[in-house]
Amino acid sequence: MQVLELIIFAGLAGVVLYQLYAVLGRRVGRQPEDTPAADAVTSGARQAPALDPADDGVGLTGLPAIKHHDPSFDLSRFLGGSKSAYEMVVRAFAAGDRETLKNLLAPPVMASFESVLADREARGVTESVEFLHPPRADLERADLHDDVARITVRFLAEFRSRTKGPEGEAVDDKRTAELWTFERSLKSRDPNWILVHVDAAEA
């Protein structure tokens, strides 16, 4: 999807942009505040073994593999940045802010967003979003293939959507559960992670 150099990520300190919104509107029963996101950070940290500087990384998978290739990676900061990114993309999508979205999303994701935006505009509909609570971000999985890292985050969010169109105005409170997958080449000097996939999640 350089608003946060971390954005999601450990070096993310002072650039701008980044995030997404796809299955918004899918209603689920779980509250965003039910379980603290820190649980995922803590459990992830416990599961990651200490890295031996002399180790060549062979056999490592998931977060340990990513940490081995990029020692500056910090899961807690990554998740914190991902929450900010999530809100930014959701708001940009609602507002039809294509310039912001283009900097945050992989081309296939941007193409799917564009089709929704074009349809909404053709119908004369506008939308705005207000978050009722900060979204939750939990680590779902992490993978490393060659030098490309992929991290999937489970977001639980609660927000108020206001739509205006030819038929009038509507206000709808929604809860969503989504899986967002971010990708970054660890060989790249660009610290930003790009949103490459969005899917619905079980609450």
- In this prediction, residue 56 carries a pLDDT of 54
Architecture of domain 38-200: Roll (3.10)
Q: Report pLDDT for 60.
A: 86
Please give the C-alpha separations between residue 123 and each of 22, 33, 149, in angstroms, as whole numbers: 19, 35, 39
Query: What is the chain's mean pLDDT, rounded?
Result: 79
At 49, which amino acid appears? Answer: P
Check pLDDT > 60 for residue 38.
no
The model's pLDDT over 46-61, given as tens digits with 9 standing for 90+, comes to 344 444 444 555 678 9
Of residues 92 and 15, which shows the higher confidence score? 92
Residue 31 predicted with pLDDT over 50: no
- CA angle, 98 then 139 then 147, to 5°: 75
CA distance linking residue 95 with residue 98, whole number of Å: 9
Owner of token pair 């070096």: 11
Tell me the per-residue pLDDT of 58-91, one tens digit each, with 9 for 90 and over. Answer: 678 999 999 999 999 999 999 999 999 999 999 9
Structure-token match 């056999």, residue found: 59
- Residue % of the chain over a pLDDT of 90: 66
Q: Are 124 and 151 in contact (CB under 8 A)?
A: no
Report in angstroms the alpha-carbon separations of 69 from 12, 63, 72. Answer: 17, 10, 9
Q: Which two tokens stand for residue 33?
A: 């505040």
Amino acid identity at 151: I
Question: Which of 142, 141, 136, 174 lies closest to 155, judged by CA?
Answer: 136
Mean predicted confidence (pLDDT) in 83-107: 95
Tens digit of each residue's pLDDT (9 = 90 or more) over 141-195:
999 999 999 999 999 999 999 999 999 999 999 999 999 999 999 999 898 899 9
Q: What is the pLDDT of residue 152?
A: 98
Q: Please give the torsion angle defined by the CA atoms of residues 86, 3, 191 and 107, in that order, rounded to the nearest 10 degrees.
A: 60
Q: Give the C-alpha separation, 130 to 142, whole Å.
A: 30
